[in-house]
Chains A and B, each alone.
Chain A
Amino acid sequence: MDLGSFLVQLLNSIQYGLLLFLIASGLTLVFGIMGVINLAHGSFYMIGAYLAWSLTAKIGSFWLALPVGIVLTVALGMLMEWLFIQKLYARDHLYQVLLTYGLILAFEELRAIIWGNDVHGVTVPAPFTGSIPLTETLSYPVYRLWISAVVVVLAIAMYFLIQRTRLGMMIRAGAANREMVQLLGINIRMVYRFVFAFGVALAAFAGMISAPVSSVFPGMGGQVLIVSFVVVVIGGIGSVKGALVAAILIGLVDTFGKVTTLEIAGFNVLPELSGMATYLLMAGVLLWRPEGIFGKRL
């Protein structure tokens, strides 16, 4: 691999990793702070992507579709929290898995009814349609750079929110001792509700901004959910910092796993392995640190 294509792959893997981080950070917060395993988290990513496609077609502007889509998805998420998720806080993980798996099926069915089963694409919105030349023959799409930049800004904002604001302190305190938080006069239900809505917003945003670089297709939520859970487990449950590191790691392993070739006895081995690379990484990390890279000791 020459330097130019290495650079392209590096940027791709970082962009993919950052996108994964957006989805996984909501998942890890809901899991780590509220103790809820939300399998339907990927559905909000899927819904975001479909809304990006259908709203852009209707409104005519991706940039207008973006806030509308996020508001709609968060409203749906809040409704789900109110109807179902809040009943799960005190429940065993088994109930959470069963109920939120049911939600995935319901969302997929609704998606088929409303939007059908076709694969769609969203055109890259102006002003990010161009490419930046890297070498004489290679260039890199500006839109992908924009995605990475936006996620980095969001990650910094999240760090600030969680580490520096009183709301962030309440969120972290709630993860340690929810009864004590209530005894200080803080409505923990509202804190949870905020965390859940925040996670949904991040997943929807990820789905919407990734629509122009990857197609919009049935089952995309399930695919991203599995990888996101791998990120959460590798990074350590409840750790946003861990999710960031793990997501970038997975981005690198996944992208380079796909392009690196390794021939053994004339067979090309790595492409077959690349599908497994993320899971091998997870197994390796868990053998080394069962609680994840930044997780609390179990």
Chain B
Amino acid sequence: MTEPLIDARGIHTYYGASHVLHGVDLSLSRGETLGLMGRNGMGKTTLIKSILGVVRPRSGTVKIKGADMTRSAPHRVALAGIACVPEGRGIFPNLSVYENLVMAARTGAEGRSDWSLERVLHAFPRLRERIHHGGGQLSGGEQQMLTIGRALMTNPDVLILDEATEGLAPLISKEIWRIVREIKASGIATIIVDKNFKAVSAISDRCVILVKGAVVFAGTSESLRAEPSLHERYLGV
């Protein structure tokens, strides 16, 4: 059980003729929090989609808990314990808040079941208030909470958050970061993609920076914080 939860190696991904990822390596250990950063269009979302099986890498391998899942269908990767809060959220607007949560509920890949409906509603009191509203009626922040809560209902071992605070008011963002810390504390490993360098480096154990589809930095968050020149060069902050 010491092998990494996610071990992606030499990932090359294309959209048609455009070569987006150029041999990216990424690994995630149990309980670890990884920050994935980079400017717009550098390939963060594409890397996540390559791991999830939504887009097929042209070469490279994706291992989940030691098993090769490079060509697996997205639902197989999800069943192996990887949950995702995608960019742009992806709630089901035609389902109620309750239905959005309940349709996803299951025991995790390794039998964990501590994220029940009750616990999710406890973590997101706003969702409890809106439980019978349609998903489409929620505000942006509430939709984000719903997507996170729904991902937790699958009792994952890994939660991938792609731009979870994008476009949210500072107060709501703060609330989301609080929840991410709670998720981390519950033992779920996370990959966090976010433009907020300070928030990401504060919460994550390790950071990876992508520039034009290649890894230019991979190391502890501490070592990244210690080198402001890197922030400017790769992140523009």
Query: Which A residues lie at the B interface, using CB under 8 A?
Result: 166, 169-170, 172-173, 175-177, 179-180, 182-188
Contacts and interface: CB of A to CB of B under 8 A. Distances in A.
B206 interface: no
Contact of A182 (B78, B95, B100, B154): B78
B78 A183 contact: yes
A183 B84 contact: yes
Given A166-B103, A183-B54, A172 B92 contact: yes
A184 B93 contact: no
With most chain B CB atoms within 10 A of its CB, the pick from A166, A179, A180, A184 is: A184
A176 B94 contact: yes
Interface of B: 52, 54, 73-75, 78-79, 83-84, 86, 90, 92-95, 99-100, 102-106, 150-151, 154
Nearest to A238: B94
Given A180-B86, A183-B84, A184-B154, A173 B92 contact: yes
B78 A185 contact: yes
A6 to B, nearest CB: 40
Contact of A169 (B78, B86, B95): B95
Contacts of B90: 177, 179-180, 183
B15 to A, nearest CB: 16
Given A179-B54, A186-B103, 10 more contacts: A166-B105, A169-B103, A172-B92, A173-B95, A173-B100, A175-B94, A182-B74, A183-B90, A184-B78, A184-B151
20 contacts: A166-B102, A166-B103, A169-B95, A173-B92, A176-B93, A176-B95, A179-B54, A179-B90, A180-B86, A180-B92, A182-B73, A183-B52, A183-B54, A183-B75, A183-B83, A183-B86, A184-B103, A185-B104, A186-B103, A187-B73
A80 B94 CA distance: 30
B75 A186 contact: yes
Contacts of A183: 52, 54, 74-75, 78, 83-84, 86, 90
A179 B75 CA distance: 9
Contacts of A176: 92-95
Nearest to B85: A183
A184 B150 CA distance: 8
B74 A173 contact: no
A185 B95 contact: no
A179 B74 contact: yes
A177 B92 contact: yes
B5 to A, nearest CB: 16
A170 B92 CA distance: 10
Nearest to A163: B99
B49 to A, nearest CB: 10
Nearest to A169: B103
A176 B154 CA distance: 20
A188 B54 contact: no
A180 B100 CA distance: 11
A1 B95 CA distance: 47
